[in-house]
Structure 1
Amino acid sequence: MGWLLLAGGCGNVNPAPYEWKLPLGFPDPAVPEDNPMSTAKVELGRRLFYDKRLSANGTQSCASCHRQEYAFTDGRTTALGSTGEHHRRNSMSLANVAYAASLTWADPVVPDLEAQALVPLFGTHPVELGMAGQETLLLQRLSEDARYPKLFAQAFPEQRQPVSMASVVRAIAAFERTLLSGGSPYDRYTYGDEVDALSPSAMRGMKLFFSQRLGCLHCHRGFAFSDSVKHKLMAFPEVTFHNTNLYNVDGHGAYPATDQGLAEFTGKPEDMGRFRSPTLRNVAVTAPYMHDGSIATLSEVLDHYAAGGRACAQGSGPSPYQSEFIQGFTLTAEEKQDLLSFLESLTDTKFLTDPRFSDPFASTP
């Protein structure tokens, strides 16, 4: 965090502000006062996001674990770092990450996207991009590039030395805030008055999803389809974590010692196995599922919740720590298919191919 605090400025030159094109039904995102949005900063951030020179060995970029066609996940069970180390958790989607009140599966102390960007760059447990102790090398790579010095100067004209670690993470964060997904068939039906946007099956599934009988809406609600949300008008963001009884290894609610969720940070038994509820937007393209990628398909995810948690289905019984919203339910085969149809209607195909979010190196000579 020191880089963010030491990025002193000079002058009052302001680059052109970024023009938000918010989807219907979306509030204004919360943007830090010390990192205002600008078109130049977003374009710089997009380039950095896709640049493999941000990894020590030059093999990975942010986009290696956050691929646009998978709604900025990676399709793997768990992430794979630049040194070949398999991580313990599934890569989360970056769709609408500007509205996320917490930015990892279970860490409650990462306050914003700027701070989060430091984790893959410099984290060592596990190694992601592997730049710990290599800050000088990274800045040298960027400074010697034919394009970057000008791009940094345009994005940070107030900085005496615009090519800095503070500028790197601020630019990446600015780009990530633009990853807005709100053009799915569900959105066109709900906000765009396209009465035929949803199939009859998806319509029935929507009613099931928002019913108290299933209770999906308790953890996946609102425009974000998550209950861990922040935006410009919220004085106090909602930061929530839940235990879905995915594991109960000892019959008393324990999760595997390798990953016990929020309890690793708080030390509280009641936080055992509690993880953030991810957005369900584009969920049909973000398999596999859950914090550890241990459920392969959406159909199996529904089986997990219908059973009151996979641990119940496997005979371990309910957990004393599981969320009050995980009660189990019964679905007919038709209802299950309807619910799957609704979840598929949350896919925003334009978001998955939008050139504003795509790899700039793919078309750069």
Structure 2
Amino acid sequence: MLALPWKQTFCLVFGVSVAILMSGCPKPPVEEKAARPSTTGPAFGTETAAETPEATKGEGVGIADQAEPSAQPGKEGPSMEPPAEEKPQEQPGDEMKAAAPEGAAAGQEQTAPEAAAESQTVPQGTPFEVKVPLGLPPVPIPEDNPMTVEKIELGKMLYFDKRVSADGTISCATCHDPKMAWAEHLPTSKGIHGKVGERNAPTVINAAYATSQDWDGRAKTLEEQAVGPVANPIEMGHTIEGMVQTLDNIPQYQELFKRVFGTGVNAENFAKAVAAFERTILSGNSPYDRYRAGERDALTEAQKRGLKVFEESGCADCHAPPLFSTYEFYNAGIGMNKEKPDEGRKSVTGKEEDMGAFRVPSLREVANTGPYFHDGSVATLEEAVAIMAKGGIDNPHRSADFDTVRESEITAEQQKDLVEFLKALSGEFPVIEPPQLP
């Protein structure tokens, strides 16, 4: 596991205690532990988390309005050689200020009474700047959900709180564990009462950039995704109303929601808090990123060969840098031989051409987030690469986009180099301990 060595520039960070948050007294930041993910762990199929109430597939956490990434994912192709004159960056990362709260847009004027009324009802909070690791674009922040230290801390509590499930046994972190690269090393996760879903729990890492959530893309934003698992009968088995009532019965949560949002506990603000927290879970500054920045020895010779295969065989068409996903939907034939195969994207669009199509997972941290594919049916990265090197598995709905890879006739030795290259996409991400809960 790796821990993201980024530090927040404001007075409060994720380790803030409930008592500090509720008192409103700024405290020094508490550094989190860092660790580098193993390069030999399982991998190939990483995403984000959960389901909408009517779904029963069971994917994990979830989360309403998220801006699209400033750069279209998938438009930048990988470059095998680093810039000739560019030196390695000693301080990885770009910074992006969170969007201003509603009503504070440039050029928008307010009368004194209006401003006073707003300040009394909508707490501003301590603005939080997302420090982006080397290799990643700025994190898109919704205008209606600006980042604040207090909101992120509240979101962290809710993420780890098992009381959001009907029987108090399942939290977001149960299936998206920080110590397992924010995923779970099981084919499919167990939810309430030991029920097992049909889909693999994807990682939360870099979910902030995805243009849709869930394997089938049913949730458009992290906010929309956040409440999905709560009412999913396989995952948390609660009702939205019941979850809100549970939290509202906890005096400390009542106070925290009022401090952050100016209102009591409700589903919308629950989702906003969890989504804000998840937007801080990033991974970058990988050997690949350092190589791209000019550090010529960041990749091994095998990894350099693997990068060449990756860009020349068509892999990058779907797994395009810098995010290593276009977040589009394709049928690779996984699970299509079942008596009743998962419909995938078709279950959302109703279109026959979307049968068995699933969202392209990001390959960042792929060496640490196995097992792979939407059903977790492939245990090792080597096996996953072997399947995709053949252009997927034949079935009536297989996407023709995989023909380029198939026609490349990737050899066994090249597959080994590809695996080594994919390990070079393991970077640094935060490993967070569960907070003290109200």
**Aligned counterparts, 1:151-300, within 5 A:** 151-156=256-261, 159-161=262-264, 163-191=265-293, 193-211=294-312, 214-228=313-327, 240-249=328-337, 256-300=339-383
Q: Could you list the per-position Cα deviations for residues 111-132 of structure 1 after superposition, in whole angstroms to 9, with x for gaps in the alignment?
A: 21111111011123xx211221
Amino acid in structure 1 at the alignment position of 2:307: M
Q: Report the Cα offset of residue 21 of structure 1.
A: 0.3
What is aligned with 2:231?
Answer: 122
What is aligned with 1:325?
Answer: 402
TM-score (norm 2): 0.68
Amino acid in structure 2 at the alignment position of 1:323: A
1:338 equivalent in alignment to 2:417: yes
Tell me if structure 2 keeps the 8 A contact 1:209–1:339: yes
Q: Report the Cα offset of residue 51 of structure 1.
A: 1.2
Q: Report the Cα offset of residue 49 of structure 1.
A: 0.6
Amino acid in structure 2 at the alignment position of 1:194: E
CA 1:227–1:197 in structure 2 vs 1: closer, same or farther (change >3 Å)? same
Tell me if structure 2 keeps the 8 A contact 1:93–1:286: yes
Tell me if structure 1 keeps the 8 A contact 2:291–2:298: yes
Tell me if structure 2 keeps the 8 A contact 1:270–1:321: no
Q: Report the Cα offset of residue 303 of structure 1.
A: 1.5
**Aligned counterparts, 1:55-70, within 5 A:** 55-70=165-180
CA 1:360–1:299 in structure 2 vs 1: closer, same or farther (change >3 Å)? same
Task: Quote the Cα distance in structure 1 between the aligned partners of 2:402 and 2:364.
Answer: 20
What is aligned with 1:236?
Answer: none
Aligned residue pairs, count: 320
What is aligned with 1:98?
Answer: 208
Q: Could you list the per-position Cα deviations for residues 84-112 of structure 1 after superposition, in whole angstroms to 9, with x for gaps in the alignment?
A: 1110100111111111011011134x221
Q: Report the Cα offset of residue 137 of structure 1.
A: 3.8
Q: Could you list the per-position Cα deviations for residues 6-45 of structure 1 after superposition, in whole angstroms to 9, with x for gaps in the alignment?
A: xxx8634311111110123433222222211111111111
Task: Quote the Cα distance in structure 2 between the aligned partners of 1:70 and 1:336.
Answer: 25
Q: Report the Cα offset of residue 270 of structure 1.
A: 1.3
Task: Quote the Cα distance in structure 1 between the aligned partners of 2:336 and 2:164.
Answer: 39
Tell me if structure 2 keeps the 8 A contact 1:245–1:308: no
Which secondary structure does the structure 2 equivalent of 1:138 belong to?
helix
Task: Quote the Cα distance in structure 2 between the aligned partners of 1:278 and 1:290.
Answer: 8
Give the aligned CA root-mean-square deviation in angstroms: 2.4
Task: Quote the Cα distance in structure 2 between the aligned partners of 1:16 and 1:305.
Answer: 46
TM-score (norm 1): 0.81
Task: Quote the Cα distance in structure 2 between the aligned partners of 1:219 and 1:40.
Answer: 37
Tell me if structure 2 keeps the 8 A contact 1:247–1:256: no
Amino acid in structure 2 at the alignment position of 1:186: Y
Q: Report the Cα offset of residue 258 of structure 1.
A: 4.6
Which secondary structure does the structure 2 equivalent of 1:20 belong to?
strand
What is aligned with 2:121?
Answer: 11
Tell me if structure 2 keeps the 8 A contact 1:90–1:290: yes
Which secondary structure does the structure 2 equivalent of 1:92 belong to?
coil
Identity %: 40
Unaligned stretches of 5+ residues in structure 1: 229-239, 250-254, 312-317
Please point out which of 7, 27, 32 is paired with 2:137. Answer: 27
CA 1:323–1:82 in structure 2 vs 1: closer, same or farther (change >3 Å)? farther
Tell me if structure 1 keeps the 8 A contact 2:335–2:375: no
Q: Report the Cα offset of residue 153 of structure 1.
A: 3.4
CA 1:160–1:305 in structure 2 vs 1: closer, same or farther (change >3 Å)? closer
CA 1:248–1:67 in structure 2 vs 1: closer, same or farther (change >3 Å)? closer
Task: Quote the Cα distance in structure 2 between the aligned partners of 1:325 and 1:220.
Answer: 12
Q: Could you list the per-position Cα deviations for residues 186-209 of structure 1 after superposition, in whole angstroms to 9, with x for gaps in the alignment?
A: 112223x32222111111111111
Which secondary structure does the structure 1 equivalent of 2:192 belong to?
coil
Amino acid in structure 2 at the alignment position of 1:221: A
Q: Report the Cα offset of residue 306 of structure 1.
A: 2.4
Amino acid in structure 2 at the alignment position of 1:39: V
Amino acid in structure 2 at the alignment position of 1:52: K
Tell me if structure 2 keeps the 8 A contact 1:263–1:274: yes
Unaligned stretches of 5+ residues in structure 2: 1-51, 53-63, 66-117
Task: Quote the Cα distance in structure 2 between the aligned partners of 1:298 and 1:264.
Answer: 28
Amino acid in structure 2 at the alignment position of 1:325: F
Q: Report the Cα offset of residue 149 of structure 1.
A: 4.0
Q: Could you list the per-position Cα deviations for residues 173-229 of structure 1 after superposition, in whole angstroms to 9, with x for gaps in the alignment?
A: 1001111111211112223x3222211111111111111xx211011012111002x
What is aligned with 2:435?
Answer: 360
Task: Quote the Cα distance in structure 2 between the aligned partners of 1:186 and 1:49.
Answer: 31
CA 1:65–1:323 in structure 2 vs 1: closer, same or farther (change >3 Å)? farther
Amino acid in structure 2 at the alignment position of 1:289: Y
